[in-house]
Amino acid sequence: MTSGSLSTAVEDESVLIAAARAGDEIAFAELWSAVRRQAFGVCYHLTGNRADALDALQETQLAAWRGLATFQGRAPFRAWILVVARNAAHAVIRRRPPAGVLLAQVAEESLVADPFEDSVAGLADLRRALAELPESQREALLLWAGGLTYEQVAASLEVPLNTVRAWIHRARRRLQAGLAGG
């Protein structure tokens, strides 16, 4: 992408944000469609299951629509959405029922698993490896992989920049080792 097309994309995003702030639902839908998959990825990997991830994704979309007036544009819209998604996923996790109820849900979900998703071994390995990361490293890695800078990740997690750098470095190494089988 050239610097001209990058500045055009930023200008287009700014126009869409302004229109969405004025109540244009189509402009918001266009902004949302560009970030929805990444937001779902953050929600899924933090909540650990599809149902909770979809709940968190819906909360993310609603929070983004309602909070668009507070978006200051210091970071890209996508970065803001990923932080909103992280917060929504944590809210869903806090509302979870006790562990016994969750075990029954997991057993039920395993009976109706998505056959295509289960057939992709690499995806299962990635999910397992991500799940094995400490929560702080997983969150930092997902936000960074979603497009946030180290500085933006540090600000959203409210930790020092060097801590974020260390978490992401460790997460990448553990993930690589987990995917290599070692």
Residue by residue, pLDDT tens for the chain (182 residues) are 454 544 455 678 889 999 999 999 999 999 999 999 999 999 998 888 899 999 999 999 999 999 998 888 888 899 999 999 999 999 998 887 665 444 455 555 554 555 444 445 566 677 777 888 898 988 888 888 888 888 988 988 889 999 999 998 998 888 888 777 65
Among residues 40, 51, 42, the alpha carbon closest in space to that of 95 is found at 51
| Structural domain that includes position 132 | 114-182
**Core vs surface per residue 50-89: b (16+ CB within 10 A) or e:** eebbebbbebbbebbeeebeebeeebbbbbbbbbbbbebb
C-beta separation of 56 from 43 below 8 A? yes
Does one domain contain both 137 and 100? Answer: no
pTM of the model: 0.63
Neighbours of 49 (CB within 10 A): 15
Whether 118 and 108 share a structural domain: no
CATH number (domain holding residue 154): 1.10.10.10
Domain match, 50 and 103 both? yes
- Packed helices 25-47 and 3-21: angle between N→C axes, nearest 10 degrees: 100
**Does one domain contain both 41 and 131?**
no
Q: Does 9 share its domain with 62? A: yes
Q: Which of 112, 141, 165 is the last residue of a domain?
A: 112
